[in-house]
Structure 1
Amino acid sequence: MQRIRALASSAVVVSLLAAATACGGGSSSEGSNESPKTLTYWASNQGPNIEADKKILQPELAKFEKQTGIKVKLEVVPWSDLLTRILTATTSGEGPDVLNIGNTWSSSLQATGALLPWDQKNFDKVGGKDRFVESALGSTGAQGKDPAAVPLYSMAYALYYNKAMFKEAGITEPPKTWDELTADGAKISKGGKWGLGAEGSNLSNNIHQVFVLAKQHGGDFFTADGKADFTNDAAVAAVKQYVDMMATNKIIAPGNAEYAKNQSLSDFSKGKTAMVLWQAAATTFKSQGMKDDEWGVAPVPVQSGAPGAGKATNSMVAGINLAVFKNTKNIDGSLKFVKFMTSDAEQKLLCKTYGSIPPVKAAQSDPAFDRPELKVLRETLATSATALPQVSNESQFETSVGTAVKNLFAQAANGKKLSTADVKAELTKAQQQMASQ
């Protein structure tokens, strides 16, 4: 996120709080039989598939071992399983030393006390906090507290479009507003082809889209003091607008209601869908046989006007953070590994490979990050992206509201034209679910 995540149950924070003290790193969990010169690392699935990630990361881990004498045991964990695996680790004590987390989870996991706090002393061991871009640090935990993780990969959403499908439909430029996107999608959605792809059963992806739309409608899913408010007019309008692209506008295929594992990217790569909203997708397109000159990229549409500072949010601040389990018995090795992964050289190499933006300032000077696609992502991060709320129950928000959107997509796929009341009813259920925890 592919780095898009399907979250585990809404009881995540309660479960983690109950078990945080049981959490131990992979090296410590095996006791004296495990060498202190070994680390366990859970990497998230960033590339086209898990095997691709292993091929990308193993040479870098070998480089780290040569430099430090510390061997890293790698496991690439699918996003659909990652949060559940973290929960299991906290109860069993058999977790990794270092792991990737979605940056939106940072505040929720921070509240458990299971992760190492990144105070000045720890930041100094990886070169200092000021090496990192401020916007990336803004999604590492609750404001006013030491971060629970360190930024590893930064991303934003963009609109990817199929140039040939646009040309065939007589569309000369990518849409700048949602009305334009809907009109363009209607021209394309015929004969088994569709205007826009979606991952209707992917809870986190659902949240990312409706959060942005709520901002564009002038609201949010939380009040200023961090209380859940899922049924306000802006939140309801946002969810209805997104689901209506299938239910009313009919530019998203009904089958997309069941997508949760990047199938919309596959459809895009095969010319079945003309547009997709995604984070840093170039690597995936290439792996599926799509040439770089066959697709274009543009900022995500807004309600009206243009995205930019003070105008309209058109992406959440996306990214991956690197965290350390606080109870690991290989803390020195873990900090050395974080320093290695966030070094200028590794940031340039890994972010080039994955098509992401380095959250390390010095690494962004590489000309590779001036590619047209990445320029759009960098501009979005700099001017029109907003961090998801850094609240302790953010994970439950992704689960409850993400599920509400999933349920609404399922109804739309079955031919139901959704009313505002239908949308509000689902969001009311989500609000009640949050309140009961």
Structure 2
Amino acid sequence: MPISRRRIRLSAALAGAGLLISGCANPSVGNDRDDPTKPVTLTFWHGWSTPGEMKAINDSIARFEKLHRNITVKVVPNVTDETMNQALRAGGDDAPDVVSSFTTNNVGQYCSSGMWANLDRFMKKSGVDKEKVFPKTLLDYTSYQGKQCALPLLADSYGLYYNKDAFKKAGITRPPQTMSELKRDAVKLTRRAKDGSYQQVGFMPNFRLYQNSPDRMFAQWGPTYFDKHGKAQLAKDPATKKFFATQRELIEAQGGYGPLEKFRARFGEEMSSQNAFLTQKLAMHMDGEWRGLMLRQAKAKFGWDTAPMPVPDDQADTYGRGYLTGTVAGIAHSSQHQNAAWELVQFLTMNTEQVVRFANDIHNVPSTKAALKSPELDADPTFRTFLDIAQNRHSVAMPPSINGGQYVTALMDFSYDVEAGKVHDLDKGLRGLDAQIDADNLQSEN
């Protein structure tokens, strides 16, 4: 089953509302001189909640406890970032020792606040060369300003799901690789009833659809959100205007924003049996690696396959890239058992057998170089598309920020206005967006 993406969106909203801790927090002081060979009980908080996910976590903990007979792990599931951060801020005996989060956008807050311990000293003590263990992009989204306060605990990559039966009927022989091909194929695949209403849309570009948030779509352009001084530069990056122009072209080619939104409103819930791709209302769809397992479990009534998302025509050589995110794990700064906690974090994030088994169990992308190449990984070629995306050197993740996902929320709100035709001067609007992001960051620093 997939990681609970709706909780990610909630965390971003909480960050935007200022409910997550800022960099000025003063976390309780923990203990990094404990003896990890002595009997100890660790508390591990995580956000997974479905029966299959919790079984996979519990199986992982059982494997760890078998290797570390002196360590008992108390697992607390379904914990949100807000709850976790409140507990870490308060400290005390009820606070967790090991923590995990689905929200990579909040890593900047975790590191700058000091609530999550810097893991570099633990890796140095254990002789771990992190650059040899983890792909660069995953390391980038688990650190902030030189502090490695988190490590990747599985990853997600985003690609294109497409209906092979619909492709065959439309005379399309392969998935699109460029944005112009995507527009061409989307038009061919769009079908209407006699009254003009949609029966199937080739590709729904609207940002409010399921996983279609603008940051994920924008990844195909390889954008630069901030300059070297940390200032927002979306208005200065030529890719930004090209991205919005392409999205507008996709919308207009398939009938316009209003009709597409009206059709989208009739879609079923993303994680239900009425998902729009599963019910063939969409012929192509951007989604994460977990969707394949759900399609097989639902016994989809059509042939389907996966491919990387198309790229801009002037960046055709980057085809194969995609958007990356994932779960992160770390040690609470307030933990009195940080060395024992490191044993658990190291096992969950670096033990190749464990990472592979966990990835297979919940159908997520493994987060170490060794695990990505393991022959024990799920051999399904539709899943391996996402493994290739995760290893592609052009794939990107959102850069960490001191205010967590607040800048992502600002981009989303602005993008909703752009696609609806409410932004009449894009240059001016982007300059205003940059100013808003910079002001929010400055407020978080103070």
Which of residues 196, 199, 203 is equivalent to 1:196? 203
Larger deviation: 109-118 or 329-338? 329-338
Residue-by-residue CA offset, 1:369-417 (whole Å, 9 max, x unaligned): 55423443333333321343344345222121122223445x3xxxxxx
1:358 lines up with 2:363 in the alignment: no
Deviation of 1:113 after TM superposition, in Å, equals 1.5
Determine helix, strand or coil for the equivalent of 1:21: coil
1:397 lines up with 2:403 in the alignment: no
Counterpart in 2 of 1:223? Answer: 227
Counterpart in 2 of 1:149? Answer: 150
In 2, the alpha carbon distance for the partners of 1:316 and 1:40 equals: 28
Which of residues 132, 136, 139 is equivalent to 1:137? 139
In 2, the alpha carbon distance for the partners of 1:340 and 1:203 equals: 33
Residue-by-residue CA offset, 1:133-181 (whole Å, 9 max, x unaligned): 33422322135x1311112213322111111222222222111111111
Determine helix, strand or coil for the equivalent of 2:22: helix
In 2, the alpha carbon distance for the partners of 1:152 and 1:158 equals: 20
TM-score w.r.t. length of structure 2: 0.77
Q: Residue 223 of structure 1 aligns to which amino acid in structure 2?
A: D
Residues 427, 354 of structure 1: alpha-carbon distance in 2 compared, 3 angstrom cutoff: farther
Larger deviation: 296-305 or 356-365? 356-365
Instruction: Assess if the C-alpha contact under 8 Å between 1:194 and 1:251 holds in 2.
Output: no
Which protein has the bigger helix share? 1
Determine helix, strand or coil for the equivalent of 1:15: coil
Q: Residue 227 of structure 1 aligns to which amino acid in structure 2?
A: K
Instruction: Assess if the C-alpha contact under 8 Å between 1:152 and 1:319 holds in 2.
Output: yes
Residues 363, 390 of structure 1: alpha-carbon distance in 2 compared, 3 angstrom cutoff: same
Counterpart in 2 of 1:414? Answer: none
Which of residues 237, 240, 254 is equivalent to 1:235? 240
Extract unaligned runs of 5+ from structure 2.
32-38, 193-198, 441-446
1:287 lines up with 2:292 in the alignment: no
Residue-by-residue CA offset, 1:285-311 (whole Å, 9 max, x unaligned): 2333338x8211112101226755xx4
5 Å-filtered alignment, 1:419-430, equals 421=424, 423-424=426-427, 427-430=430-433
Larger deviation: 111-120 or 99-108? 99-108
In 2, the alpha carbon distance for the partners of 1:76 and 1:260 equals: 25
5 Å-filtered alignment, 1:359-398, equals 359-367=367-375, 368=377, 371-380=380-389, 381-393=391-403, 395-398=405-408
Residues 404, 85 of structure 1: alpha-carbon distance in 2 compared, 3 angstrom cutoff: farther
1:116 lines up with 2:122 in the alignment: no
Instruction: Assess if the C-alpha contact under 8 Å between 1:159 and 1:298 holds in 2.
Output: yes
Instruction: Assess if the C-alpha contact under 8 Å between 2:205 and 2:250 holds in 1.
Output: no
Which of residues 40, 43, 46 is equivalent to 1:39? 43
Larger deviation: 58-67 or 15-24? 15-24
Q: Residue 392 of structure 1 aligns to which amino acid in structure 2?
A: I
Q: Residue 421 of structure 1 aligns to which amino acid in structure 2?
A: H
In 1, the alpha carbon distance for the partners of 2:352 and 2:249 equals: 44
Instruction: Assess if the C-alpha contact under 8 Å between 1:197 and 1:268 holds in 2.
Output: no
Determine helix, strand or coil for the equivalent of 1:302: coil
In 2, the alpha carbon distance for the partners of 1:355 and 1:12 equals: 33
1:324 lines up with 2:334 in the alignment: no
Over aligned residue pairs, what C-alpha RMSD do you find? 3.7
Instruction: Assess if the C-alpha contact under 8 Å between 1:70 and 1:333 holds in 2.
Output: no
In 2, the alpha carbon distance for the partners of 1:164 and 1:127 equals: 48
Aligned residues: 406
Instruction: Assess if the C-alpha contact under 8 Å between 2:42 and 2:96 holds in 1.
Output: no
> Highest Rg: 1 or 2?
2
Which of residues 9, 12, 15 is equivalent to 1:9? 15
Counterpart in 1 of 2:439? Answer: 436
Which of residues 276, 297, 301 is equivalent to 2:310? 301
Deviation of 1:115 after TM superposition, in Å, equals 0.9
In 1, the alpha carbon distance for the partners of 2:388 and 2:178 equals: 18
Larger deviation: 174-183 or 265-274? 265-274
Deviation of 1:352 after TM superposition, in Å, equals 1.8
Larger deviation: 356-365 or 165-174? 356-365
1:63 lines up with 2:69 in the alignment: no
Larger deviation: 422-431 or 278-287? 422-431
In 1, the alpha carbon distance for the partners of 2:425 and 2:287 equals: 27
Counterpart in 1 of 2:87? Answer: 89
Instruction: Assess if the C-alpha contact under 8 Å between 1:244 and 1:250 holds in 2.
Output: no
In 2, the alpha carbon distance for the partners of 1:324 and 1:259 equals: 41
Residues 234, 333 of structure 1: alpha-carbon distance in 2 compared, 3 angstrom cutoff: same
Extract unaligned runs of 5+ from structure 1.
26-34, 412-417
TM-score w.r.t. length of structure 1: 0.78
In 2, the alpha carbon distance for the partners of 1:194 and 1:369 equals: 31
Determine helix, strand or coil for the equivalent of 2:402: coil
